[in-house]
Amino acid sequence: MAKKIALEEHFLSPGLVDYWKPTMTEVAPEIVGGLLKKLTDFGALRLEGMDRNGIARAVLAVSGPGVQVERDTATAIAKAKESNDFLAGEIQKAPDRYSGFAHLAMQDARAAADELERCVKQLKFCGAMINGHTNGKYLDDPSYEPFWERVDALGAAIYLHPVDPVVPSPALEGYKALRRATWEWGFETGSHVLRLVFGGTFDRHPRARLILGHMGETLPYLLWRFDSRAKLYGVKLKKPPSHYIKDNVWVTVSGMFSAEPLMCAIAALGPERVMFSADYPFENSDDAAQFMDSVPLDEKLRADIAYNNAAKLLKLT
């Protein structure tokens, strides 16, 4: 069994449960209860699953949307800080098994940058997980420049996690089963990344490191088309769009335990850009690990994807 680091592994702190519950309205109450039990556990339930699957370390992150849907900025800032301190306390109880991504109140770019710095420098977190747009504002917005400057300065990784769009697409009208993780989130999150690429965020911050789940939210499959159309539309960037996705983006296999897209991600982005993850507890860690351990791969590459690539990116050993 390959030794693994998993980095899209969710938890909930007591103050953030009420932001999460509305995302579960379509799910049966007994399933929601089971998920909540796993999200708020940092002991046997989580650790036994990690042990069973060779997950040496889990980088924990809030299950979204968290404070990013809070309308009052001061409340969002205070609750994010409280959640980060809570996570730091849990990590302290098992520092050889857990690491953390910061939760940030993106309503205020400077406060988010300050909290990221506090989390990275004082709490030794690996970076931050951001749950998509914040009340409709995406990360290419000019108001986020101070945030990206700090991300650059800290060398922190930003995991961009899906969230519901501001307005559901009319194309999905009448098909609830196509919303969220089925299809909607891939387009929403992929579009968010393309806003950063086409908006020049990575030209201004070439050291920014973005992590995407779900094998890259379909982007690795589409690189040629981005470059071809960017030329046609006269997009003014220093490099073709695909180069930013190859240079600034890492992807994980979270919630996408399938060989074909894995091969595409490796071929499109490079073997050092793909990492393991489960998306616990929304996916089964047993399924994730079984996929990682059995998918046909050269053993050196399996070890890199399962552990080494994440250890290098997040400076974990």
Interacting residue ranges for Mn ion, rule: CB under 5 A: 8, 279
Alpha helices in the chain, H assignment, sequence order: 17-20, 29-39, 44-52, 73-93, 109-121, 145-154, 184-198, 201-204, 214-217, 223-232, 241-248, 259-269, 285-294, 299-303, 309-313
Q: Shortest approach of Mn ion to residue 215 CB, angstroms? A: 13
196 vs 288 by CB, closer to Mn ion: 288
6 vs 119 by CB, closer to Mn ion: 6
Let me know if 85 is a catalytic residue.
no
Spatial distance between the Cα atoms of 128 and 57, rounded to a whole number of angstroms? 17
Coil, helix or strand for 56?
strand
Instruction: Select which of 227, 279, 286, 298 is catalytic.
Output: 279
Contacts of 262 (CB under 8 A, 6+ apart): 215, 253, 256, 274, 295
144 vs 159 by CB, closer to Mn ion: 159
The residue whose Cβ lies closest to Mn ion is: 279
Q: Shortest approach of Mn ion to residue 240 CB, angstroms? A: 30
Q: Shortest approach of Mn ion to residue 271 CB, angstroms? A: 24
Question: What is the DSSP secondary structure assignment for residue 43, as one 8-state letter?
Answer: S
Tokens of 182: 């089925």
Kindly report the backbone phi and psi dihedral angles of residue 130, in degrees, each rounded to the nearest multiple of 5, phi listed first: -115, 130
164 vs 279 by CB, closer to Mn ion: 279
Q: Shortest approach of Mn ion to residue 277 CB, angstroms? A: 8
Residues with a known catalytic role? 279
